Amino acid sequence: MVTSSFHKRFIEFCELNSHCRALELETGSSLNSETLNSWQETLDLLKDCYQQSRERELVAKALVDPYFPLSKLRKLNVEQFAAEPKFADLTENVLAKIVAEHLLKWTEIFLSIREDLAKLDRTGQVSGMGLTGSPNENLPEAGWCDYCGGCCEIRGGPPEFTGSFAPPGRWHAYFSGDGCEHQRFCPFLFEYFASSKFFCSIYQVKPKCCWVFDRDECEFLQNDVAREQARL
Ligand code: SF4
Ligand code: SF4
């Protein structure tokens, strides 16, 4: 694995990806060939940090998906990783290796959920939206929620899914936090076109503990975050 340049390539891809996705949302159509080429080149550079072709394929396939939660990964698993006490003494290269391996694992989990949803959710009864990948498909109306995804920044919870819904077996491990070592947010949290708007990909069947989180809890969390930011 090329760790020395991983961080730089990852950030460059995040930046360009946000720009390209914003253009897609603005125009409601695909990117022109010039923009698409530079986006692809940046993705190729990131992908080439990985040695095995299977790894490169996973990274490429997940990162071209308009719902891959790249901004959340960047914030929690790249930028904030370095500030966590357990990683504080690591060299840049060792940290980059952990981050790169985590990104790879997250692509695998994300694609497996995408695959499950494609089989289970042909009419949007699990997600609450069609997940068509089109910039013309809007996020579902969320009322007072602004899609910050803060309430889904969890390392795991009890996987008691709603009602009679029988989820694929691996979803229990994913929600519990057993899907990978460095989970910092829920694997079912997707991002809408790199816009830092996050949504629950299994909204209609989400676990019981997620339904308990309502407007009061949200306000409490937002105040807590604001207090923490003011302290820094
Ligand atoms: S923390 Fe509140 S505003 Fe943010 S996603 Fe959760 S419910 Fe919505
Ligand atoms: S299941 Fe949905 S609502 Fe619950 S933590 Fe995960 S993404 Fe958030």
Is the same domain home to 86 and 170?
Answer: no
* Of 217, 211, 218, nearest in space to 163 by CA: 211
Is the same domain home to 16 and 61?
Answer: yes
| CA-proximal residue: ligand 2, atom 5 (nearest) | 152
**Best substitution site from 148, 202, 221 to test ligand 2's pocket, by max atoms within 8 Å of Cβ?**
202
Is the same domain home to 14 and 83?
Answer: yes
Is the same domain home to 107 and 162?
Answer: no
Q: Are 96 and 3 in contact (CB under 8 A)?
A: yes
Average pLDDT over residues 187-213: 95
Tell me how many domains the chain contains: 2
Is the same domain home to 109 and 165?
Answer: no
Is the same domain home to 92 and 25?
Answer: yes
| CA-proximal residue: ligand 2, atom 1 (nearest) | 206
Confidence check: pLDDT of 1 > 70: no
Is the same domain home to 113 and 178?
Answer: no
Confidence check: pLDDT of 4 > 80: no
Is 129 a domain residue? no
For residue 189, the ligand 2 atom closest to its alpha carbon is 7
Is the same domain home to 226 and 172?
Answer: yes
Range of the domain at 97: 6-120
**What is the reported pLDDT for 184?**
95
Handedness of CA 39, 44, 47, 53 (dihedral sign): positive
Residues whose beta carbon lies within 6 Å of some atom of ligand 2: 152, 154, 186, 188-189, 200, 202, 206-207, 210
**What is the reported pLDDT for 19?**
94
DSSP symbol at 75: I
Distance 146 CA to ligand 1 centre (A): 6
> How far out from the chain centre does Cα 84 lie?
20
Q: What angle do CA 172, 176, 179 make, to 5 degrees?
A: 80
How many other β-carbons are positioned within 10 Å of the β-carbon of residue 134? 12
Is 126 a domain residue? no
Is the same domain home to 102 and 179?
Answer: no
Residues 121-165: tens digit of each pLDDT: 666 688 888 899 999 999 988 888 999 999 999 999 999 987 788
Is the same domain home to 104 and 55?
Answer: yes
Does any ligand 1 atom lie closer than 6 A to the CB of residue 203?
A: no
Is 138 a domain residue? no
- Listing DSSP states for 142-154 in one string gives -TT-----GGG--
| CA-proximal residue: ligand 2, atom 2 (nearest) | 200
Residues 53-96: tens digit of each pLDDT: 999 999 999 999 999 999 999 999 999 988 888 888 899 899 99
DSSP symbol at 76: I
Is the same domain home to 186 and 115?
Answer: no
Is 33 a domain residue? yes
**What is the reported pLDDT for 232?**
65
**How far is residue 219's CA from residue 15's CA, in Å, rounded to a whole number?**
30
How many other β-carbons are positioned within 10 Å of the β-carbon of residue 153? 17
Average pLDDT over residues 13-22: 96
Pick from 13-27, 138-152, 200-214, 216-230: least confident: 216-230
**What is the reported pLDDT for 103?**
97
Residue 213: nearest ligand to its CA?
1
